[in-house]
Amino acid sequence: MKIGIIGAGVMGSGIAQVCALARHEVVLYDLSPEMLERAKSTIEGNLDKGIELGKLTAEQKTETMANLKFVHSLDQVVADLIIEAIVEKLEVKRKLFNDLCLNNGADCILATNTSSIPITQIAATTPHPERVVGIHFFNPAHIMKLVEVVSGAHTHPEVTERCMDFVKGLGKHAVQVSDSPGFIVNRVARHYYVEGLKILEEQCASHEEIDRLMEASGFKMGPFRLMDLIGVETNFSVTESMFDLFHQDSKFRPSRIQKQKVDAGFHGRKSGKGFYSYE
């Protein structure tokens, strides 16, 4: 199967790596040549780490890289399945899917890696809403096993079934989910971040103390380390989206502290600084 990936950021490059490792032909698109170069370097580094840990062979790395094509022209993204991993903005995703329909046939499945925007809303203005589906990977995509496959109101059952089989073929654990704000994982996990931020706002404890407490309780990462890994701005965007989709329910209220981090460009590991410093 030929796979198109839109967006060469952390999620897009991770998804591209997983698909190429599973022997799919992959076209990774980004408007920025610099982002594509960074994605290529990141993927090579991840594969080298896998070899170092004895999980991959040098031959698998060579084959995986050969399965990848890096492009910065959207016209070159022609595939059987296209997964977008771009900014969490409804209108941007809608325009992208409409543009992709111009160069791809009626059988092409259009999938979104959105964390919170309902699939039905994204599909609403697409010429073929029945072939729009959610395939939601988790960061880091090459390590995390769970993937949510989300059906919108228009999604054809055969499209959902094909995507479930595709995800399982990647060696992932596929869970079929009905369309709803935040789906399952982000709806449940949102309060891990939001409550941690409320405790910080109320000066009950520092972010380091909150993380240490949660990690000592059995969580692999505290909420602030996890936000830095995911991307502070990405996490904030998802919280904003869910706050609106749940009609400003106070339990989803975005944090002023997190907004300040975003405004300052402190996006976490990717920027060298978030709640922690990585420089």
Question: Annotated active-site positions, please?
Answer: 115, 136, 148, 186
Exposed/middle/buried for 44, CB within 10 Å: 0-12, 13-18, 19+?
A: middle
Distance between CA atoms of residues 135 and 115, nearest Å: 10
Q: Please, which residues bridge with residue 68 across strands? A: 26
- Give the closest residue to 66 by CA, choosing from 55, 74, 78, 58: 58
Distance between CA atoms of residues 164 and 169, nearest Å: 9
Using CA atoms in the order 7, 24, 27, 68, what is the torsion angle rounded to 10 degrees?
A: 100
Cβ-contact 88, 234 below 8 angstroms: yes
Enumerate residues 6+ apart whose C-beta is below 8 A from 44: 61, 65
Token pair belonging to 157: 């059952």
Cβ-contact 72, 29 below 8 angstroms: yes
Strand, coil or helix: what is 109? strand
Distance between CA atoms of residues 5 and 54, nearest Å: 28
